[in-house]
A and B are shown apart, each in its own frame.
Chain A
Amino acid sequence: MDFTYHVEGGDFTNAGSTSSEVKRMLKKLGVSPDIVKRTVVALYEAEVNIVAHAYRGDINVDLEEDKIRIVLADEGPGIPNVDWAMQKGNSTASPKVREMGFGAGMGLPNIKNNSDELHIETEVGKGTTIEFVNYFN
């Protein structure tokens, strides 16, 4: 099954609605609670990244019998150094943002921790595509 959801940059009111929808589907399939949780954590994180940093994006969810593949493609600023950003604690957030408790540098590491396969493509000034897969068994 294949679904696409649109995400608007800056729309924090609806941030998380895709992960909520995906969660409902996984529950219907009878996927085990810990895998549902992993998928929701990873997707929520990635979805909020689009809302917080990009102009807009599309989330494509491909649900199969044994796995879920999610591709989040956004138009946005891109990530200058992915390897660096994948390290825990590394963040480009300004001190002002960090003071409020955001930008702890946990976003990408969190997606990695909660997915079985993760692939990131990004181009500065154009956008980022994050693709991750979680297996049900």
Chain B
Amino acid sequence: MAEDFHHALQFKYDLCIGCAHCTGVCPTGAIHVEDGHPHLNPNRCVDCGRCYQACPVNAIYIEQDDFNTVYDYKYPVLLLPSIFTAQFEEKIKERTILSAIYHLGFKHVFEVEKSVDFIKEEMKKTVHENNGYKPIISTFCPAVVRLIQVRFPVLVPNLYLVKPPLDLTALYIQKLLTEEDNVPAEDIGIFYVAPCAAKIAAIKSPATEEESPVSGVINMNYLYSKVMRVIKQGEYQLCDDSRIRYHRLTKSSLKFTLTTGEVSLLNEGRNLAIDGIHNVSDFLEKLEDEDIQDIDFLELRACDESCAGGILCANNRFLMAERQRNRMHKSPEEIDAEDNDLLNYVDYLSEHRRVLGTVEPRSMDKMDDNVAVAMKKMRRAFEINQNLPQVDCRICGYQSCKALSEAVVNGQAQIEQCVFVQKAMEHAEKLSLSDSIKTTTKIWGTKKIDPAVIKNLNL
């Protein structure tokens, strides 16, 4: 078995109320409840963050690097997704936001999408000749790449193995600073501002063997708060035009981060954009079934409204997408190397455009390494499931009746965890009341069936 996936999502049990909302929304069934709290199966989780959004008490935490490590580098650089500025109200201008960021001590701020002007030319040339597999599936969204690895391994060869804007812009920064400004490589710290957990996970443990050029990660909502505070307290100095000029992006660069951002760069073929992890799952299921044909390119994004809907965005996704579009309307169609000097590094970036190594399928559906054993387990799980109520109530701690039946054959759960089976067994005097309470307590802890409830409800 390959090493476990790294996950940026962590549960805080001290805050968790054991409501199991997270269990229900997970697109890969990675969460089950035991001892009153959710438990994550690291090989199933794809870091999409639906659990984070569903949690009513903010008991899910997204790890980030300590902000102070920024100051460990002589030359700290911020790699900022353009969607960052879209978190703010329209009256706070981009110049103000950038000035406040510089105030925090960064030598340079580069927007991630600077490399999209390079990517758009490259993509038109190469996208339709990707190893003969159709449709080609974008690897821009790391949650989608992992979803394909664990749930749709048949589609792994369809992945378009090119670096996303983040990695290309980081490569350009390294090249620019070491060669033009003669900064020693070890002095440069590139800090990426992440709009979601999946991007963090992809940096900390990439899907291929290639290491990320990013030195550290800062959560977008964290930086938003820090920047807001600087703005509200008016501590910053407005930066001049030369700096602002550096942050001009083309319309298509700004659009890249929104839904249809990639497909609108292509002017040939049948290209489709889908957002929302459950929509993406449904579509991939049909694609795997051979039900959908003749599509050339798929842009798939785990979040509704793409990166404007990232779980670490501080504002409503529709408002953010609106502000991003407003910035697009003010932006030029084309930009030359004078305004985007990344375009001077096209040859270098072309050499490094493809991802080194391969993405491996990591199917989570397999019931056992041995086919004969898998067959037995599958048959047993099928029989068990046929006798379960199909309510998918999740009182057993699992996402569905099917999930419980598989956990039972894998020795991870007891069949009497099903509340209906439990009642039937009690009725037939196969299970004592005290054993049935033990089973429920093992799943949900003691609090939810505390006798004090009777008193509190005046029963």
Chain A interface (Cβ < 8 Å from any Cβ of B): 1, 16, 19-20, 23-25, 27-31, 33-34, 36-37, 40-41, 44, 63-66, 136
Contacts and interface: CB of A to CB of B under 8 A. Distances in A.
Contacts of B368: 30
Contact of A28 (B156, B361, B374): B374
B379 interface: yes
Contacts of A31: 371
Nearest to B153: A33
- Most-contacted residue by chain B among A1, A31, A33 (CB, 10 A): A33
Given A24-B365, A28-B365, A28-B366, A66 B371 contact: yes
Given A1-B379, A36-B154, A65-B372, A30 B367 contact: yes
Contacts of A65: 371-372, 375
B285 interface: yes
A27 B149 CA distance: 12
B109 to A, nearest CB: 43
A20 B153 CA distance: 14
A19 B379 CA distance: 18
B240 interface: no
A63 B372 CA distance: 11
B290 A41 contact: yes
B289 A33 contact: no
A27 B290 contact: no
A44 B367 contact: no
Given A27-B363, A29-B367, A1 B154 contact: no
Given A30-B366, A33-B153, A16 B289 contact: yes
Contacts of B374: 28-30
Contacts of B153: 27, 33
A31 B368 CA distance: 11
Interface in B285-307: 285, 288-291
Contacts, number: 63
A85 B156 CA distance: 33
Interface residues on B, range: 20 to 34
Contacts of B367: 28-30
Contacts of A16: 289-291
B288 A40 contact: yes
Contacts of A66: 371
Contacts of A37: 154
Contacts of B361: 33
- The 5 tightest CB contacts between A and B, nearest first, are A30-B366, A27-B365, A33-B154, A44-B290, A20-B289
A66 B374 CA distance: 12
5 contacts: A23-B289, A28-B374, A30-B369, A31-B371, A33-B153
Nearest to B361: A33
Given A1-B375, A29-B378, A63-B375, A19 B290 contact: yes
A94 B208 CA distance: 50
Given A1-B375, A29-B374, A40 B366 contact: no
Contact of A44 (B291, B369, B375): B291
Given A33-B154, A36-B154, A136-B371, A28 B290 contact: no
Contacts of B289: 16, 19-20, 23, 40, 44
Interface string B381-399: 0100000000000000000
Contacts of A27: 153, 363, 365-366
- Most-contacted residue by chain A among B154, B363, B368 (CB, 10 A): B154
Contacts of B371: 29-31, 65-66, 136
Contacts of A36: 154
Nearest to B294: A101
A65 B378 CA distance: 12
Contacts of A20: 285, 289, 291
Contacts of A25: 378
A28 B100 CA distance: 53
B290 A40 contact: yes
Nearest to A44: B290
A64 B378 CA distance: 12
A25 B366 CA distance: 9
B372 A1 contact: no
Interface in B136-160: 153-154, 156
A29 B374 CA distance: 5
- Most-contacted residue by chain B among A27, A37, A63, A65 (CB, 10 A): A27
Contacts of A30: 363, 365-369, 371, 374
